Structure 1
Amino acid sequence: EIAAKFGIYYYPIVSSARAFNALWKRSYRKTAQFLGGVVYEDPWLAGGHNGLSNSEDPLKPQPPYERVRDLRKLMNQFNLEDTPIIMAGGVWNLSEWEDWIDNNEIGKIAFQFGTRPLLTKESPIPEEWKKKLLTIKKGEVSLHRFSPTGFYSSAVKNDFLIELEERSERQTPFLKEQTNEFNEKIEIGPRKRTFYVKHSDKSKILEWVKKGFSKPMTTPNNTLIWVTIKKASQIVKDQIDCMGCLSQCLFSNWSQEEKGTTGKKADPRSFCIQKTLQKISHGISNLENELMFAGHSAYRFAMDPFYKNGFVPRVNQLIERIMKGL
């Protein structure tokens, strides 16, 4: 509606025909003349946040061809044969996508390069980030669900992500009242906060506490995560410092709705996304300690002879290479 108001084209991003169908019926059909193209962002290949649905398995990637073919078939039903689809995610060079070009099943197609332009002279990311891209190995980009948006996202598996994984692994269900199942009493801190946990979990908790993970934090799922006192203080401070950068945030429970809250408990298993992206983009923190978005093809920098000996191209050099299909 905003695009239509100003007479400009819009390019929605979807990850399935199903998603486009819902959005078409809800909104896009009303302003179809300004639909410049549809970006298909592959949820298993693209970097950053993606649109995996609850019915899709993050560990079982589906081939993009079939998904884009289904999207085109649906778009044709809406008389959008001339509206291009823009393939995003996993695109390294055009020679690998030759069978998509001039393909009647796919129709008009364009390709988005998201990861490769990061490693150019003109790219604004810090030099340390560029150097890191040249060393990433296959499998080091991880699909995770720690984001405060609630969406899956892909990022380099560094100390930042590993700490989040370990934080969630040190997690136990609890009750505040004793039952037959939750029959082990745990008292924490000077105020002797009392929790009841399962017998099978008590030994794990005592071991975590011995290792310094002595501070329990409650989650919206009636579980406790066990962290150090220092980490707990940082989490609470980040939640308090929330600036409302998202329409709703799982980490701080902020919401742009009138009440200003999601109505759920703030989730300490997540993180402040604005803080970490500000730090890594401005180079004011160690890369290992911040969220480092990347597509799943980032490992190819280390394998592509174009980047041999740490070569970083200018944008025009990268475009020349892309136009050659390399």
Structure 2
Amino acid sequence: MSFSIHRAVVTAVRTLTPGMVRVTFGGDGIADYPTTGIGDEYVRLFFPPQQDAEPVLPHSTGESWAFEDDVTPSQMRTYTIRAVDRAAGTVDIDFVVHDGGVAAAWALRAAPGNVVGITSPTGLYDPPADLEWQILLADATGLPAAARIAEQTPDGVRTRIVIEVGHVDDVQEITGRDLEVSWVIGGNGHGPSCFDEVVRDLAVPEGVGYIWFAGETSVMRGVRKQLRHVRKLPNQAYKTIGYWTVDVERWVERWNGLDEATRAEIDALWDGWDAPGTDQEAITDAYHEQLERLGL
């Protein structure tokens, strides 16, 4: 599927919990939106300079995007799709809302008629074809994807979900077949995450399974080490994704402070990522080891 950018108009806004707002997008720009259907498919959103203004949208370069030289690019953030309604021609995206942040501030004031840009999606959830069970782990940012995966899981697959939210009022209803849901309070920028303990004590069933995690990057690293290096799960048995980074402004400042050769060395780790026979998890190991060595 070629990469595309679409103009999306807000048609409805709903407060789900004190910490999450659902925004429904419609309009001609996404009437035939090219969803992958994968439960954790993610998109880039381009936000306007003012709430009721038009965003400056880039053009597709085939596999990415670019802005014209004479414009100020719209600010961009990455989000997962909560639901796609083909009949209605709409897309739902759930926003974690908090003080500060381009996307959160926009979502808190979102109203019908507001416009954003939205890219075509990419999904990462990729369980084995003969899946018997799955465990979905996420903080609040991964909650929408985990809930969608659970809803789309076919009969015959046992699903356990553990969601970490910052406050008991952020608990939501999650539905699905043969589903067990647990909630823990912590993490999410409000305190230490509980996932080190959760994953360490995790009971892994017999049979063909899949463990999926989405949340803060440093927490993700700990989860990934447990799954890959302690439990020694095969590559196809898990997926860990960093959705956000605590104190990201400081992280970016430290990254930009590295010398050019060091940044180039880290970027070069991804060369050959899509080459046949590449052990992508080994590349990911090397990447995180480099960043941790540099205190990033």
Quick check: TM above 0.5? no
The structure showing larger relative contact order (alpha-carbon pairs under 8 Å, at least 6 residues apart) is: 1
Whose radius of gyration is greater, 1 or 2?
1
Query: Quick check: which one's helix share is greater?
Result: 1
Query: Which structure carries more strand by proportion?
Result: 2
TM-score, normalising length: structure 2: 0.29
TM-score (norm 1): 0.27
